[in-house]
């Protein structure tokens, strides 16, 4: 088995982030070879350590999955000696990642300008909900709030206009983690070329707008705001739906293009008069719903086997993780040393050549590296 490539070997990252967006970003950096030093509160560590279910006395599964391959430095950032210690590390670091509310790092004496004076090539990434500036910069919020504030949540409303709770944290990961990693890599490249670092203001709310590009484009072209539950990919088309089968399982059906739609209609034997779904989408949808409900999911999967129609079974997460396709690609190979729990490593969202197939190192005990990184 080929060893994973480590393009960030030699890059030191000081990680002051907690919970999800920052820790997943630095997990990706660590997987790619960076030395990530996680700065935590003495005694309790970061909050995610205590989110159940627990795998050890001081770490839950969330912390274990997001923080493997990092080192832990337990420091009281209100102690001047600890601040001096951090600044000594900054002199030899390439990246700082922080996720406090705007202004907190400045008050601690660890803001960008203070650290830039020590290391002009430093890449300093601040991840926040609404950004470092603006009227909402200090507003307390979570993933759901950012989705609501940017109009993204409304795009997924049902036909009665009630927004549907997203099952995944799009703002945290899609608009926080991923833009942070991309921006850090761009800034590192620039620092290599110019010797100058950068301050990166990564605002999750800002970055969510890209996820609604199609609705923004429609508005710019003069169309009204999307109809809840009535657009092409939000429930208004029979070509992009989930349909219930006779056994209670669901099929995800997305035959958007004409060739896929023709194949789909042929397999389910949809009456010819209803195949032109532009004429009466509701009638076509009702007919498809009735036909799919007449047979169990296994029968439909057999009928669609080998047919290009974009039809798949709605699986549980457990079924998906056990799927031979993902198993063959090695997504859940290996086990993290995590007490008595056989915890598979989280496959970070990077290309396989940079991903450790065995899961890499385990997560750090609180303060385990305090003796490794000397006093300031």
Average pLDDT over every residue of 11-19: 97
133 domain residue, yes or no: yes
188 domain residue, yes or no: yes
| Helices 258-268 and 281-292, packing angle to 10 deg | 50
The pTM of the full predicted model, rounded to 2 decimals, is 0.93
Question: Residue 339: which pLDDT band, with cuts at 50, 70 and 90?
Answer: low
Find out whether 359 and 334 touch, Cβ atoms under 8 Å.
yes
Task: State the total domains in the chain.
Answer: 2
Residues of the domain holding 304 = 250-313
Residues 16, 161, single domain; the answer is yes
Residues 21, 150, single domain; the answer is yes
Average pLDDT over every residue of 261-283: 97
350 domain residue, yes or no: yes
Residues 281, 188, single domain; the answer is no
Residues 45, 111, single domain; the answer is yes
131 domain residue, yes or no: yes
Higher pLDDT, 141 or 224: 141
Tell me, what's the pLDDT at 367?
A: 95
Average pLDDT, the chain: 93
Question: Residue 51: which pLDDT band, with cuts at 50, 70 and 90?
Answer: very high
Tell me, what's the pLDDT at 67?
A: 95
Find out whether 44 and 51 touch, Cβ atoms under 8 Å.
no
Question: Residue 344: which pLDDT band, with cuts at 50, 70 and 90?
Answer: confident
51 domain residue, yes or no: yes
Which residues are known catalytic residues? 142, 172
Tell me, what's the pLDDT at 1?
A: 59
pLDDT above 70: percentage of residues in the chain? 97
Residues 184, 82, single domain; the answer is yes
Residues 170, 133, single domain; the answer is yes
pLDDT tens column, 178-199: 999 999 999 999 999 999 999 9
Residues 196, 254, single domain; the answer is no
Question: Residue 219: which pLDDT band, with cuts at 50, 70 and 90?
Answer: confident
Average pLDDT over every residue of 131-145: 97
Higher pLDDT, 26 or 217: 26
Edge-to-edge, what's the strand order for the sheet holding 241-244?
241-244, 250-253, 311-313
Residues 154, 35, single domain; the answer is yes
CATH number at 198 reads 3.40.50.10540
283-297, 319-333, 342-356: which is most confident:
283-297
Question: Residue 376: which pLDDT band, with cuts at 50, 70 and 90?
Answer: very low
Residues 134, 82, single domain; the answer is yes
Distance CA 48, CA 67 (A): 10
Question: Residue 106: which pLDDT band, with cuts at 50, 70 and 90?
Answer: very high
7 domain residue, yes or no: no
pLDDT tens column, 81-97: 999 999 999 999 999 99
pLDDT tens column, 279-318: 999 999 999 999 999 999 999 999 999 999 999 999 999 9
pLDDT at 335 over 90: no
374 domain residue, yes or no: no
Tell me, what's the pLDDT at 360?
A: 64
pLDDT tens column, 244-258: 999 999 999 999 999
194 domain residue, yes or no: yes
Question: Residue 111: which pLDDT band, with cuts at 50, 70 and 90?
Answer: very high
Average pLDDT over every residue of 104-111: 97
Residues 191, 279, single domain; the answer is no
pLDDT at 104 over 60: yes
Average pLDDT over every residue of 84-112: 97
Residues 16, 48, single domain; the answer is yes
Residues 77, 189, single domain; the answer is yes
pLDDT at 331 over 80: yes
């Amino acid at each position: 088995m080929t060893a994973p490539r480590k393009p960030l070997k030699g890059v030191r990252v000081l990680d002051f982030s907690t919970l999800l967006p920052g820790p997943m970003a630095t997990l990706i950096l660590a997987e790619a070879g960076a030395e990530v030093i996680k700065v935590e509160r003495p005694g309790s560590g970061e909050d995610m350590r205590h989110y159940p279910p627990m795998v050890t006395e001081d770490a839950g599964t969330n912390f274990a999955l997001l923080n493997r391959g990092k080192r832990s430095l337990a420091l009281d950032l209100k102690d001047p000696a600890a601040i001096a210690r951090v600044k000594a590390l900054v002199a030899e670091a390439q990246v700082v990642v922080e996720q406090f509310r705007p202004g907190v790092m400045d008050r601690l004496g660890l803001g960008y300008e203070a650290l830039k004076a020590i290391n002009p090539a430093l890449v300093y990434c601040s991840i926040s909900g609404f950004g470092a500036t603006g009227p909402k910069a200090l507003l307390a919020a979570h993933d759901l709030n950012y989705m609501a504030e940017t109009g993204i949540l409304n795009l997924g409303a049902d036909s009665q206009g009630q927004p549907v709770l997203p099952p995944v944290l799009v703002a945290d990961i899609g608009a926080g983690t991923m833009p942070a990693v991309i921006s850090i890599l761009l800034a590192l490249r620039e620092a290599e070329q110019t010797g100058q670092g950068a301050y990166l203001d990564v605002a999750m709310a800002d970055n969510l707008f890209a996820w609604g590009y199609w609705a923004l484009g429609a508005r710019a072209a003069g169309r009204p705001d999307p109809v809840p539950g009535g657009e092409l990919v939000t429930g208004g088309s029979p070509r992009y739906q989930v349909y219930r089968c006779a056994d209670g399982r669901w099929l995800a059906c997305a035959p958007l293009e004409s060739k896929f739609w023709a194949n789909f209609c042929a397999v389910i034997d949809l009456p010819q008069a209803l195949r032109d779904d532009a004429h009466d989408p509701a009638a076509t949808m009702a007919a498809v719903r009735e036909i799919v409900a007449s047979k169990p999911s296994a029968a439909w999967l057999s009928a669609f086997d080998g047919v290009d129609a974009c039809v798949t079974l709605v699986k549980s997460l457990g079924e998906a993780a056990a799927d031979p396709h993902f198993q063959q690609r090695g997504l859940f190979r290996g086990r993290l040393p995590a007490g008595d729990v056989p915890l598979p490593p989280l496959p970070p969202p990077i290309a396989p050549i940079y991903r450790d197939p065995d899961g890499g190192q385990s997560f750090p005990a609180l303060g385990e590296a305090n003796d490794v990184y000397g006093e300031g």
